Amino acid sequence: MTPTALPRRLTSTIFLALAVGAPAWAKTPVATGTGGAVATISEPASQAALAILNKGGNAVDAAVAAAAALGVTDPFSCGIGGGGFMVIYLAKENRVITLDHREVAPAAFQPSAFAPEGKALDYDSAIASGMAVGVPGTVRGWHDALDRYGTMSFRQVLAPAIRVAQDGFRINDNFVKLVKENEKKFALFPATAAHYMRNGQPLPAGTLLRNPDLARTYRLLSTGGVKAFYSGKLAQAIVTAVNRPPAAAGVAVRAGAMSLADLANYEARWRQPVRSSYRGYELVGMPLPSSGGVAIAQALNILEGFDLKSMPREKAEHLYLEASRLAFADRNAYLADPEYVDAPLAGLLSKDYAARRRELIDPTQARPHAQAGDPYPYQQDPSVPLRPASSAKSKLLSESAHTTHLAVSDKDGNIVAYTFTIESWGGSGITVPGYGFILNNEMTDFDFTGPHPNVPEAGKRPRSSMSPTIAFRNGKPAFTIGSPGGSTIITTVLQTIFNHVDLGMPMPDAINAPRISQRNGMATSIEPGFAGSAQATALERFGQRWDAAVEEIGAANAIVFNPDGTVTAVSEGKRHGVGSALVQQRAH
Ligand code: GLU
């Protein structure tokens, strides 16, 4: 029966019920108000953060609460089986600090891990393996963030997520699509297939999905703390799952070599952020081992020399694509774990070096492929690092769109920008039996063969693209932004900043605009519906070419700190099943 067919009184009763019953946090991708704010891709996650803010928790407490809930509702993107990067702004101290809790390679990891006979393995079989699993960093990261800058315990911040895992949540079309796309991988591991599939098919959209195993695991952390993850029974279960992957009978999956000591020894790292400036903004981003902060800063430094505002949009976008291409050429050649590789950061981040790179851009014609530049003369440091030996071309591995990003601020002005992941959709595919979470495949973020700075080594963290970013203006927070999407994370954050700052789009428009991602390939990645559009045709006149395979790119979340003191939380209006933005006191 359609609503119009309902008797009039009944219809108005339903409307009344909707209006009265509509909670202040009804799902919306944009919310403006005062107090704390949160934007995530999952409504239960945003609600978890809001509940913690309403209980007096700060942005760090709320970020961990949201992340734990995302581990339940977005188990293919993120969770305690993975790792991440958190950028924290401490308002009272006016200071930014970052927390690297990236997965590390186990002590027994070999440089030949993904090239056993000198030949790189195919990507799919490398992913679905124990060898792909890095020592998970998420729980250590949550613990360290709470311990140093939070105000609440695991017990308090995990409570909302435990409820979601226990009571269940309705899976949407996007969730079903992800299971469908990963059917083959999930079918390899019975514990994973049992949870997300029935009779070899994905659970249908609308199913109430509970995860009592994960609820129990979170309870274990609530009572036992960080130690309950990195030692004892859970640690043993992780090691067993990695070293003897619980694959279906007759299926051969490569084993890893992780030890209890690898888990017990795992450490997160507090790191200074990457700082750069762009047209009056100070940008603060994630340092190595994420390449995100450096690559974004470099591309913006290149763009800064163009008077983009005076140009037609397509010309400015052509320049955005070319600047990104050049930054990616350097990112691919030089960046890796800073504890293993001395990358020429001062050079890469210098405005003078950016000016040299800018000269390579033809304002009328796309370049097919950019070579890495030479940042060493711009190091301005007598202790010039040794140049890395690189194989002629660094292949851009097919990292696609996964991961999750969330943004939280609190009433005191603290901000957390947090991206975390299990790498591919559904990570390695290996669920730790009985514990309800999937292990990462982060080790495949290494370059499989060298010489290259980002080759596998024991104890090393693979290079990432995650780019949680905070922008300041006149010493005050202006906005924060981040996204999932493998190497397209960098271009999504870059393009959103470009859309907002250069094209003057309000943040919701900057996020919803079609994404075009140039990562030094011949063709630029695009989303469904872009090819053939007027915008695409205009860019083709500059020689820009599009990848035939189209896919949604990223799922950004942002908060804008408005000059009038209000905050606007912004999530995706269209992508990934639409995100959820909430504020503590909604402006009417
Ligand atoms: N592993 C990726 C990275 O660290 C994130 C996963 C993804 O979004 O593909 O950059």
Could you read off the pLDDT of 265-309 as tens digits, one per residue? 999 999 999 999 999 999 999 999 999 999 999 999 999 999 999
Q: Name, in order, each residue with C-beta under 8 angstroms of 67's C-beta and a sequence gap of 6 or more.
A: 45, 78, 84, 138, 142, 406, 418, 420
Identify which has the larger pLDDT, 10 or 534. 534
Segment 517-525 shows an average pLDDT of: 95
Residue 167: strand pairing partners: none
Segment 388-393 shows an average pLDDT of: 66
pLDDT at 25: 44
Asked if residue 451 has a cis previous peptide bond (ω within 30° of 0), the answer is yes
Whether residue 445 has its Cβ less than 6 Å from ligand 1: yes
Q: Which fold has domain 25-269+399-586?
A: Glutamine Phosphoribosylpyrophosphate, subunit 1, domain 1 (3.60.20)
Distance of CA 141 to the CA centre of its chain: 15
DSSP state of 281: E
399 Cα–ligand 1 center, Å: 7
pLDDT at 143: 98
Residue 560: strand pairing partners: 479, 568
pLDDT at 400: 53
Q: Name, in order, each residue with C-beta under 8 angstroms of 534's C-beta and a sequence gap of 6 or more.
A: none
Quote the CA–CA distance of 407 and 416 in Å, as a whole number: 6
Segment 518-540 shows an average pLDDT of: 96
Tracing tokens 């370049």 back to the chain, one arrives at 367
Segment 2-8 shows an average pLDDT of: 32
Segment 364-384 shows an average pLDDT of: 88
Antiparallel, parallel or unpaired: β 208-209 and 169-170: antiparallel
Q: Beta-strand (E) ranges in 376-444? A: 404-409, 415-421
Q: Which amino acid is at 478?
A: A
Could you read off the pLDDT of 142-180 as tens digits, one per residue? 999 999 999 999 999 999 999 999 999 999 999 999 999
Q: Which amino acid is at 92?
A: K
pLDDT at 57: 98
Please say whether the beta carbons of 319 and 312 come within 8 A. Answer: no
pTM: 0.94
pLDDT at 560 over 90: yes
Q: Which amino acid is at 32?
A: T
Atom of ligand 1 lying closest to residue 484 CA: 8
Report the residue among 138, 489, 515 best suited for mutation to probe ligand 1: largest number of ligand atoms under 8 A from its CB: 489
Whether residue 436 has its Cβ less than 6 Å from ligand 1: no
Query: Quick one: pLDDT band at residue 389, thresholds 50, 70, 90?
Result: confident
Packing angle of the helix pair 154-167, 212-224 (nearest 10 deg)? 170
pLDDT at 168: 97
pLDDT at 399 over 60: no
Atom of ligand 1 lying closest to residue 485 CA: 8
Name the residue ranges covered by the structural domains of the chain.
Answer: 25-269+399-586
Ligand 1, atom 9, residue with closest C-alpha = 486
Could you read off the pLDDT of 199-253 as tens digits, one per residue? 989 999 999 999 999 999 999 999 999 999 999 999 999 999 999 999 999 999 9
405 Cα–ligand 1 center, Å: 11
Phi-psi map region of 215: left, alpha, beta (phi>0 left; psi -120 to 50 alpha): alpha
pLDDT at 27: 74
User: Given CA atoms 243, 245, 250, 251 in this order, what sign does their dihedral have?
Assistant: negative
Element (H, E) at 209: strand 208-209
Could you read off the pLDDT of 307-332 as tens digits, one per residue? 999 999 999 999 999 999 999 999 99
Segment 415-444 shows an average pLDDT of: 97
Quote the CA–CA distance of 525 and 538 in Å, as a whole number: 16
Query: Quick one: pLDDT band at residue 391, thresholds 50, 70, 90?
Result: low
Query: Quick one: pLDDT band at residue 9, thresholds 50, 70, 90?
Result: very low
Whether residue 103 has its Cβ less than 6 Å from ligand 1: no
Quote the CA–CA distance of 184 and 124 in Å, as a whole number: 10
pLDDT at 364: 97
pLDDT at 24: 40
Element (H, E) at 233: helix 232-243
Q: Name, in order, each residue with C-beta under 8 angstroms of 55's C-beta and a sequence gap of 6 or more.
A: 152, 156
Q: Please give the full DSSP string across 475-537, using - where no structure is assigned.
A: TEEEEEEE--STTHHHHHHHHHHIIIIIS---HHHHHHSPPEE-SSSSSBEE-TT-TTSHHHH
Could you read off the pLDDT of 113-152 as tens digits, one per residue? 999 988 999 998 899 999 999 999 999 999 999 999 999 9
402 Cα–ligand 1 center, Å: 7
Q: Name, in order, each residue with C-beta under 8 angstroms of 489's C-beta and a sequence gap of 6 or more.
A: 292, 403, 405, 419, 465, 466, 467, 482, 483, 554
pLDDT at 385 over 80: no
Quote the CA–CA distance of 37 and 581 in Å, as a whole number: 8
Report the residue among 421, 422, 483, 515 best suited for mutation to probe ligand 1: largest number of ligand atoms under 8 A from its CB: 421
Q: Name, in order, each residue with C-beta under 8 angstroms of 10's C-beta and a sequence gap of 6 or more.
A: none
pLDDT at 430 over 50: yes
pLDDT at 392: 46
Query: Quick one: pLDDT band at residue 383, thresholds 50, 70, 90?
Result: low
The residues assigned a catalytic role are 403
% of the chain residues with pLDDT over 90: 89
Antiparallel, parallel or unpaired: β 567-570 and 580-586: unpaired
Quote the CA–CA distance of 43 and 105 in Å, as a whole number: 34
Segment 325-349 shows an average pLDDT of: 97
Segment 334-343 shows an average pLDDT of: 96
Q: Where are the alpha helices (DSSP H) in 342-394?
A: 345-348, 351-358
Report the residue among 41, 102, 402 best suited for mutation to probe ligand 1: largest number of ligand atoms under 8 A from its CB: 402
Atom of ligand 1 lying closest to residue 402 CA: 8
Tracing tokens 């991440």 back to the chain, one arrives at 84
Please say whether the beta carbons of 468 and 106 come within 8 A. Answer: no
Segment 427-436 shows an average pLDDT of: 98
The pLDDT mean for the chain works out to 93
CB atoms within 10 A of CB 382: 5
Whether residue 464 has its Cβ less than 6 Å from ligand 1: yes
Q: What angle do CA 289, 403, 326 make, to 5 degrees?
A: 50
Whether residue 403 has its Cβ less than 6 Å from ligand 1: yes
